[in-house]
Structure 1
Amino acid sequence: MPGTGTDGRIGGMTDFDVRPVTEDERRGTLDLLGRSLHTNRISDESWARYGDSWPAAHKFGAFDGTTPIGIASSFDTDIAVPGGAVLPLGAVDGIGVRADRTRRGVLTAMMAVQLEDFVARGIPLAALHASEPTIYGRFGYGSAALGKTVWLPRPAARLHDRVPAAGDVRMLTPQEALAEIPGLYRRIGLHRAGMIGRPAEWWPIAHDRLAGPTGSHVVAVHSGPDGDDGFVVYDTVDRRTLESPDEGAVLKVRELHAADPVARAALWRFLLSIDLVSGVRARYRPVDEPLAAMLADHRHARTADVEDDLWLRPVDVAAALAARAYRAADPVVLAVTDRQLPANTGHYEVTPDGTHRTDAAADLALDADTLGMLYLGQWSATALAEAGRIEVRTPGAAARADELFTTVTAPWCGTHF
């Protein structure tokens, strides 16, 4: 049970214990995570400033005696699902194992305890950003949303004349960026499947550290008829060298959020108007964001990469399937297999009016990680079947599932964690 400790056993001997992290163990486990991700230990100054973003709640450590050798961290938030419902989410924000203790069952034990904790607390979905994509499928996580990296060269890239232009863009001081952006993000809302809420502990390390007085990032806000309705956070990278002394700087967009297309266009227009810049680079943008169509010459919107943006894990399959909306199509019965959480294993009938468990024969069979890929609408059942991830037991069932699960707008997270 979560909180009582889980032994890791190698050769019949107890090698480590997995248990909740205490208040006194917070810094040690954060240092462990940093080392596992090949970053420096946190300084006293940084810990004093940002330590509250690493609370002990919802953290499970693997310990050899009193020494931490692994950490599995998460925070509670919400996620938007297709149809507009918002569900509780366990956002997994830190998984690491000390380099000399990898491949000895530490990760498996921690992930099991974390999943059991989500179940015990009634959390239907879990999500993460995967540092190594090959790891998390075996724990039931599937790549559920993709993001693209776009490159817009300057001055060639410019918006065409018919793109709406309204409102004003203003740059914030660092103090204003700390005070105003959390409320503006809430006002914009979780308007796309895959977007997540940002609790209070998220902001100091993920936003304030970058955009505050000691950070290098710039924040600009768009205001429309009803007030502030969009913002962009970006950094500047100097590309000048001895060989290319006239090479302009690059604007690296960390995030851009807007309540509507007008605000979004205004923020892109602002970025493309900044002088002494050779280009704008933005990573993890929605794959269906129409940047190319917004430009006078669509060839100047270059997609440099497409990569996984969010991994999703159905923790309570029945609750997760029942919460999202479906398009009109004939029902399909899914046979779901969940090796980590066997209570999820069973047959589920999906209809335009909802879902329920059933004893009916399955039309499609899939594992929990593949359901995570299907759930937000990023991947079609047909594509997943062709990739060998879904077994088609009834001819035509994959096409029916395509129609049921398809979303008009691609899923997108847009939050670093």
Structure 2
Amino acid sequence: MPGRMSRGKIGRMTAFDVRPITEEERRSTFDLLRRALHRPRATDGFWARVGVSWPAAHKFGAFEAGSPIGIVSAYDTEIAVSGGRTLPVAAVEGVGVRADRTRRGVLSAMMAAQLADFVARGLPLAVLHASEPTIYGRFGYGSAALGKILRVTRPAARLHERVATGGEVRLLTPEEAVKEIPGLYRRIGLHRPGMIGRPERWWPMAHDRHVNADDGHQVAVHSGPDGDDGFVVYATIGSRSVDAPDRGAVLDVHDLHAAGPAARAALWRFLLSVDLVSEVRARHRPVDEPLAVMLTDHRHAATVAVEDDLWLRPVDVAAALAARTYRAAGPVVLAVTDRLLPANTGHYEVGPDGARRTDAAAELALDVDTLGMLYLGQWAATTLAEVGRIDVRDAAALGRADELFTTTAAPWCGTAF
């Protein structure tokens, strides 16, 4: 682990230590993070509800004179990759530096300590959601999955009569939602590349506090022939104004997962049937979710924006490449450069039979963050080469790489952390 370090800016020096935090430092580092994200300190009541989601394990803090000035955090879970396999992954969350200590090397030192920890523990991948996308490329993370923001106008939008739904939808009480939804998420499973598991510590902060609070969140579950197979968590937001006194509420979809198309369609049918609603909004939905063509008039479902969703960092390139499957095409030799984890730097042959290190000449050369963009299948190698992210040494390899890495379903995470 890094020891005492010094960094300076404009002649001023900041001496700090980077080390794992202790149990006694959990709340002070949590408050530091909230201040860095422009949120108030946690009240005693809030901390009592969500503190279990902020354990000391896998957190590195930067400390100056014993006080925290920075924090990076992660938790261990699993991620789905092409072919249906799941891999261990570090989900990076809670990254922040005190406002008066930014741009002095604090973040770089903490991220280096965190990466060293991932390597030591044998994790092949790390993922995160980026609050500021320009930050994480220099640490080897690439934008690996996108999500779209949907806006559906009501009451005009309705599902086409030929869209199969069936089953029943029921609303849960907050107590039922806290008890039932974790098991339902596990039963639905990680069926797309990029989806991640939700360990026990995830739920109090990211789910329970929303459905237990008096802030308008509701939870609905779909039941099909084999039992519960989908759920949606949504909030009701008032939108009336002086100029629009009769305007209906907005349903803000927070979390929607289903085991198949029929359950997904039934949940959307339910959302579009709620009375006194003028609009349904949903953020970070799969880019290939076909809601528009499920409607009688596709114009009532608009994609407002497409955003970066999941960022991915190969920690062990050989293990990560070997773990996923590839489509039928001739092998391609990649030259990967990893400046922070030089053990990853080397040549890798990727083909339908798997991936392995090789001494063969490289056909395509890329940095590890670009490999992160390619890994789940979101971006085509041809596209990345066109914008200069891939150095092409054999043009014929681009088409083969496009076919090898593509996936049937667009990658999607679907879990906030």
Classify the secondary structure of the residue corresponding to 2:232: strand
RMSD over equivalenced CA pairs, Å? 1.2
**Partners of 2:382 and 2:370 in 1: how far apart?**
12
**Partners of 1:110 and 1:197 in 2: how far apart?**
25
Report how far residue 216 of structure 1 moved: 2.9
Output aligned runs, 1:216-231, within 5 Å.
216-231=216-231
Q: Which residue of 2 aligns with 1:7?
A: 5
Classify the secondary structure of the residue corresponding to 1:127: strand
**Partners of 2:13 and 2:281 in 1: how far apart?**
52
Change (3 A) 1:217 1:54: same
Q: Which amino acid aligns with 1:226?
A: D
Output aligned runs, 1:222-371, within 5 Å.
222-371=222-371
Change (3 A) 1:238 1:213: closer
Classify the secondary structure of the residue corresponding to 1:231: strand
CA contact (8 A) 2:14 2:104 kept: no
Report how far residue 178 of structure 1 moved: 0.2
Report how far residue 355 of structure 1 moved: 0.6
Q: Deviations over 1:37-71 (max 9, x none)?
A: 11111111111111111000000000002100000
Classify the secondary structure of the residue corresponding to 2:137: helix
The two structures have a TM-score, normalised by structure 2, of: 0.98
Q: Which residue of 1 aligns with 2:114?
A: 114
Output aligned runs, 1:96-245, within 5 Å.
96-212=96-212, 214-245=214-245
Q: Which residue of 1 aligns with 2:393?
A: 393
Q: How many residues align?
A: 415
Classify the secondary structure of the residue corresponding to 1:195: coil
**Partners of 1:89 and 1:155 in 2: how far apart?**
42
**Partners of 1:8 and 1:311 in 2: how far apart?**
29
Q: Deviations over 1:113-136 (max 9, x none)?
A: 000000000000000000000000
Report how far residue 242 of structure 1 moved: 1.2
**Partners of 2:276 and 2:351 in 1: how far apart?**
55
Q: Deviations over 1:78-115 (max 9, x none)?
A: 00001111000100011100010000000000000000
**Partners of 2:58 and 2:98 in 1: how far apart?**
20
CA contact (8 A) 2:169 2:270 kept: yes
Q: Deviations over 1:127-157 (max 9, x none)?
A: 0000000000000000000000001100111
Report how far residue 22 of structure 1 moved: 0.3
Report how far residue 329 of structure 1 moved: 0.4
Report how far residue 14 of structure 1 moved: 6.8
**Partners of 2:161 and 2:298 in 1: how far apart?**
13
Report how far residue 77 of structure 1 moved: 0.4
Classify the secondary structure of the residue corresponding to 1:356: strand
CA contact (8 A) 1:175 1:213 kept: no
CA contact (8 A) 1:6 1:113 kept: no
**Partners of 1:5 and 1:167 in 2: how far apart?**
59
**Partners of 1:173 and 1:353 in 2: how far apart?**
49
Unaligned runs of 5+ in 1: none
The two structures have a TM-score, normalised by structure 1, of: 0.98
Q: Which amino acid aligns with 1:266?
A: A
Q: Which residue of 1 aligns with 2:70?
A: 70
**Partners of 2:12 and 2:365 in 1: how far apart?**
36
Report how far residue 398 of structure 1 moved: 1.0
Identity of aligned residues (%): 74
